[in-house]
């Protein structure tokens, strides 16, 4: 007798979100069974009911309070931020645990900042290193929750940073920095969604667990990103820089600048024959796709 493994069913939480939309598209393109929900994560009764009704094998949690127009919003709305990013995300994880469902969390790597041990151009932050950036309330909630959430045996935590899509969506890191009056120029780890989101499906499908820095390998500075943007997408693009000190005068919350160590991710994905390109190569390919897609 051949025993068939039960077919995977993906449930994406935060169904109207930017990352959620990309995940849905990727899963549908691959012919996977996928549904979405916008049920509030903190509403325990509704979360349990949704899990019972939809019976997913895998939850992809792309819900979270990110603030509009940006994370500065979280500084003035701390209770609402806690309700989603602390109470909500822990509640959803716990409900998945009780129902025996694998839960992939689209988390953030903006919980570190360069320090003596991790200088610009030096070694990146590894997954097990304690967060050292709490300059924004958003980041503070995310790092504290990750610390607790990783205790659960059903959870895969993927730390994205400055995600970039192949279009000029308002959430795209490139769109953001191309619209600022002035930008800082600091190397950072970035997540090119076209490279990383398919990898998240591989890891989820194989029920991988634990915390992963979820960015392309390496770090790229704002000026390097914008130079490539100018080269491939918008030849007449110009920008101006300012210092971190000058930046701090026009933003409410601090911003994390760091490089994450991606060796754990790269080695794990090797097991599945999947390669994530280095960030400079990845940006070139991304901007070529962007230009071909008509974005200018
Ligand atoms: N974009 C980035 O720069 C970035 C970087 C690193 C990590 N991430 C993380 O990746 C995840 C997805 O980000 P995104 O860029 O796709 O954000 P997004 O476009 O703002 O989507 C997040 C979605 O989550 C929903 N949501 C918020 N609180 C919720 C709650 N308590 N219960 C259920 N749904 C809730 C929002 O719905 P409402 O609008 O109705 O509240 C929204 O549709 C977030 O957790 C974010 O922290 C994002």
Long-range contacts of 261-265 (CB under 8 A, 24+ apart): 261/123, 261/124, 261/125, 261/126, 261/127, 261/213, 262/124, 262/189, 262/213, 262/215, 262/216, 262/217, 263/126, 264/126, 264/127, 264/212, 264/213, 265/199, 265/212, 265/213, 265/214
Q: From the CB of 47, is ligand 1 less than 6 Å away?
A: no
- Residue 216: give its domain's CATH number: 3.40.50.720
Give the model's pLDDT for residue 182: 94
Q: From ligand 1's centre to the CA of 119, what distance in Å?
A: 30
Is position 3 within any domain?
A: no
Per-residue model confidence as pLDDT tens digits over 240-275: 998 888 888 888 887 899 999 999 999 999 999 999
Q: What is the pLDDT of residue 2?
A: 47
Q: How far apart are the CA of 107 and the centre of ligand 1, in A? A: 10
Domain extent at residue 266: 9-292
Whether the CB of 16 sits within 6 Å of ligand 1: yes
Q: Is residue 2 part of a domain?
A: no
Question: Could you read off the pLDDT of 197-223 as tens digits, one per residue?
Answer: 999 999 999 999 999 999 999 999 999
Number of independent structural domains in the chain? 1
Query: What local confidence, expressed as pLDDT, does residue 294 receive?
Result: 67
- Is the pLDDT at 1 greater than 50? The verdict is no
Distance 63 CA to ligand 1 centre (A): 4
> Which of 191, 168, 222, 201 lies closest to 32 in space, CA to CA?
201
Residue 270 lies inside a defined structural domain of this protein = yes
Identify whether 165 is part of a domain.
yes
Minimum CA distance residue for ligand 1 atom 24: 63
217-241 confidence digits (pLDDT tens): 999 999 999 999 999 999 999 999 9
Each residue of 140-196: pLDDT tens digit? 999 999 999 999 999 999 999 999 999 999 999 999 999 998 999 999 999 999 999
User: Is 245 among the domain residues?
Assistant: yes
Is residue 35 included in any domain, yes or no? yes
CA 22 to ligand 1 center in whole angstroms: 13
Per-chain mean pLDDT for the chain: 95
Ligand 1, pocket-test mutation among 11, 37, 40, 64, most atoms within 8 A of CB? 64
Residue 98 has pLDDT above 70, yes or no: yes
241 lines ligand 1 (CB under 6 A): no
Residue nearest atom 11 in ligand 1 by C-alpha distance: 62
What is the 68 CA–ligand 1 centroid distance (Å)? 10
């Amino acid at each position: 007798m051949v025993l068939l493994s039960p077919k995977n069913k993906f449930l994406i939480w935060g169904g109207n979100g930017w990352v959620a939309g990309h995940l849905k598209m990727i899963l549908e393109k691959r012919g996977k069974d996928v549904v979405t929900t916008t049920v509030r994560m903190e509403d325990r009764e509704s979360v349990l009911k949704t899990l019972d009704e939809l019976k997913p094998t895998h939850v992809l949690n792309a819900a979270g309070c990110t603030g509009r127009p940006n994370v500065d919003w979280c500084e003035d709305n701390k209770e609402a931020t806690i309700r989603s990013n602390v109470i909500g995300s822990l509640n959803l994880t716990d409900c998945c645990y009780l129902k025996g469902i694998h839960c992939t969390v689209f988390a953030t790597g903006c919980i570190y900042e360069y320090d003596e041990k991790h200088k610009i151009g030096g070694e990146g932050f590894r997954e097990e290193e304690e967060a050292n950036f709490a300059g924004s309330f958003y980041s503070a909630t995310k790092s504290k929750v990750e610390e607790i959430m990783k205790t659960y045996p059903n959870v895969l935590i993927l730390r994205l940073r400055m995600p970039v899509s192949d279009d000029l969506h308002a959430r795209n890191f490139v769109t953001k920095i191309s619209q600022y009056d002035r930008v800082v120029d600091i190397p950072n780890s970035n997540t090119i969604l076209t490279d990383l989101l398919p990898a998240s499906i591989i890891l989820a499908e194989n029920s991988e667990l634990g915390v992963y820095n979820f960015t392309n390998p390496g770090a790229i500075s704002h000026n390097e990103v914008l130079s490539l943007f100018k080269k491939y997408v918008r030849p007449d693009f110009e920008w101006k820089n300012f210092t971190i000190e000058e930046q701090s005068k026009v933003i409410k919350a601090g911003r994390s600048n760091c490089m994450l160590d991606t060796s754990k991710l790269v080695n794990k994905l090797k097991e599945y024959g999947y390669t994530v390109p280095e960030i400079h190569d990845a940006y070139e390919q991304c901007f070529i796709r962007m230009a071909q897609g008509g974005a200018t």
